[in-house]
Amino acid sequence: MFVQQRSFIFFTRTQRILFKGMSTGDLEELPWKKIHEEALRNSERSYIDPATGYTAFTELSHLDRGYCCGNKCRHCPYNFENVGHPERIKEQAKEMRRKKKQSKDENQE
């Protein structure tokens, strides 16, 4: 997938071929950018990428997870901190499950 986070831009091999010769300004005008902004305004967790037909998670969905999943997601709010570090992902996932369970237990009391 095409991934952009602040100044970081990553491409799959196929997309390097598709986007070859495009400037950074051209990439800013890609259709998914406006669709993502609208999805965020509507508090949606995902949208369909018009170029690929794949489901893309919004930044809101990633924030709700609470940690970087390590998959170089397009809208990662965590600066790809767990890419290449599967041991960190396991620890952070375990910690988030613990926090969510604790929060749920507190709300039931």
As a whole number of Å, the CA-based R_g of the chain is 16
23 — pLDDT class (breaks 50, 70, 90)? low
Task: Read off φ and ψ for residue 52, nearest 5 degrees.
Answer: -115, -25
- Mean pLDDT in residue range 31-60: 90
- Mean pLDDT in residue range 56-83: 92
- Mean pLDDT in residue range 84-99: 92
Alpha-carbon distance of 94 to 58, in angstroms, equals: 22
Q: How far apart are the first and last CA of the chain?
A: 43
Residue 107 has pLDDT above 90, yes or no: no
Mean model confidence pLDDT for the chain:
78
Residue 109 has pLDDT above 80, yes or no: no
Alpha-carbon distance of 40 to 13, in angstroms, equals: 28
Task: Specify the DSSP element, H or E, that contains 4.
Answer: strand 3-5
Q: Are strands 8-10 and 3-5 parallel, antiparallel or unpaired?
A: antiparallel
Q: How far is CA 82 from CA 52, 85, 104, in A?
A: 25, 5, 27
- Mean pLDDT in residue range 41-55: 90
How many domains does the chain fold into?
Answer: 1
* Range 34-49 burial, b when 16+ CB lie within 10 A, else e: ebbeebeeeeeeebeb
pTM above 0.75, yes or no: no
Query: What domain range is 59 assigned to?
Result: 3-108
Q: Report residue 55 as tokens.
A: 């489901």
- Mean pLDDT in residue range 30-45: 89
